[in-house]
Amino acid sequence: MKLKDRVAIVTGSGSGIGRAIALGMAREGARVAVVDLNEAGAQETVKEIQKEGGQAHPYRADVTQKAQIDAMVADVIKRWGTVHILVNNAGWDKAEPFIQSAEETWDKVLAINLKGPIICTRAVLDEMIKNGYGKIVSIASDAGRVGSTGEAVYSAAKGGIIAFTKTIAREMARHRINVNCVCPGPTDTPLFATVTAENPKLAESLKRVIPFGRLGLPEDLAPAVIFFASDDAGFITGQTLSVSGGLTMM
Ligand SMILES: NC(=O)c1ccc[n+]([C@@H]2O[C@H](COP(=O)([O-])OP(=O)(O)OC[C@H]3O[C@@H](n4cnc5c(N)ncnc54)[C@H](O)[C@@H]3O)[C@@H](O)[C@H]2O)c1
């Protein structure tokens, strides 16, 4: 088991990629704080983990609200003694041409996808510094590396997270905290379904250009995140890995 007795916080793990990461980490022996705005989704993930004999606890918390995230982290430390792993996975987007998008949408996209991971990272750092150990993995997006039509502000947020990751990786290296990013390509999740709802042909055309000939699945992402969260990646920090069936190569 790669994460035996580790304590992990996975945001947005009531659905999609986050749920697959939470399940995968629990299978590797971690105790998982399943954090989501969607309480029913978080409870469902916890139920699935417990059915397999794993340990998890649901938290309803909004990554854009610092007080809620600080309280959640304090409760995790009280419950399981410490925190070793943070996965910044919660995300949201509304696909539309930039010139049609409203300022309220920009604010929401930046709050969830950029400020959310900043808030969550800050919330775990004191404990990780105290331990001289920590693993932070943020789920960015290939949109943040190569751009994505209809996702201008989301791309800006994801590119911001990649840059934030590199700087935190530099600042935290002396404390033996590894900080890395995983970038999904188009992945079949409820979020992706909302993006393709506007353009039903998009999924088919993406399949044609992805060298592996299919969309990603949440289960494709989890092993890469578990790798960065494990001691196998102990000398790797500040890196960005695309998991996209070859759609992006850089
Ligand atoms: N699906 C894709 O094609 C794709 C591609 C690139 C990157 N991503 C990224 O992967 C991550 C997971 O996306 P997904 O496709 O699994 O989406 P999803 O919608 O299935 O899951 C996202 C979860 O985040 C939660 N969430 C949203 N806002 C939140 C908030 N403020 N506080 C707490 N939880 C919140 C939602 O309730 C949901 O359960 C996101 O960061 C997304 O940007 C997805």
Chain segment 134-181, per-residue pLDDT in tens? 999 999 999 999 999 999 999 999 999 999 999 999 999 999 999 999
Residue 25 domain-assigned (yes or no)? yes
Residue 1 domain-assigned (yes or no)? no
Tell me the one-letter amino acid at 231: D
Residue 48 domain-assigned (yes or no)? yes
The reported pLDDT for the residue numbered 170 is: 98
Adjacent-strand bridge partners of 155: none
The reported pLDDT for the residue numbered 199 is: 80
Residue 152 CA to ligand 1 centre (angstroms): 17
Residue 2 domain-assigned (yes or no)? no
Q: Is the CB of 148 under 6 A from ligand 1?
A: no
**Alpha-carbon torsion angle 197, 203, 205, 208, nearest 10:** 180
Residue 174 CA to ligand 1 centre (angstroms): 31
Nearest CA to 228 among 164, 168, 139, 128? Answer: 139
Residue 90 CA to ligand 1 centre (angstroms): 4
Catalytic residue among 80, 92, 154, 192: 154
Residue 250 domain-assigned (yes or no)? no
Q: Is the CB of 13 under 6 A from ligand 1?
A: no
Residue 249 domain-assigned (yes or no)? no
pLDDT at residue 57 is higher than 80: yes
- The whole domain housing 129 covers 7-243
Q: Give the whole-angstrom CA distance, residue 29 versus residue 31.
A: 7
Mean pLDDT of all residues in 106-123:
98
End-to-end Cα distance, the chain: 31
Nearest CA to 229 among 3, 16, 77, 10? Answer: 3
Is 154 known to be catalytic?
A: yes
**Cα–Cα distance list, 117 to 1, 47, 209 (Å):** 27, 26, 30
pLDDT exceeding 70 applies to what percent of the chain?
100
The reported pLDDT for the residue numbered 250 is: 87
Q: If you search the block for the tokens 């992706």, which residue do you land on?
A: 192
Q: Give the whole-angstrom CA distance, residue 157 versus residue 148.
A: 12
Q: Give the whole-angstrom CA distance, residue 198 versus residue 150.
A: 11
The reported pLDDT for the residue numbered 175 is: 98
Report the domain count for the chain: 1
Mean pLDDT of all residues in 60-65:
98
Give the number of other Cβ atoms within 10 Å of residue 82's Cβ.
15
The reported pLDDT for the residue numbered 197 is: 83
The reported pLDDT for the residue numbered 10 is: 99
CATH number of the domain to which 218 belongs: 3.40.50.720
Residues 66-81: pLDDT tens digits? 999 999 999 999 999 9
Tell me the one-letter amino acid at 17: I
Residue 180 domain-assigned (yes or no)? yes
195 pLDDT tier (thresholds 50, 70, 90): confident
Angle formed at CA 88 by CA 159 and CA 52, multiple of 5 degrees: 140
Residues 78-88: pLDDT tens digits? 999 999 999 99
Residue 248 domain-assigned (yes or no)? no
Q: 152-172 vs 103-110: helix axis angle to the nearest 10?
A: 30
The reported pLDDT for the residue numbered 16 is: 98
Atom of ligand 1 nearest to the CA of 154: 43
Nearest CA to 46 among 37, 36, 56, 54? Answer: 56
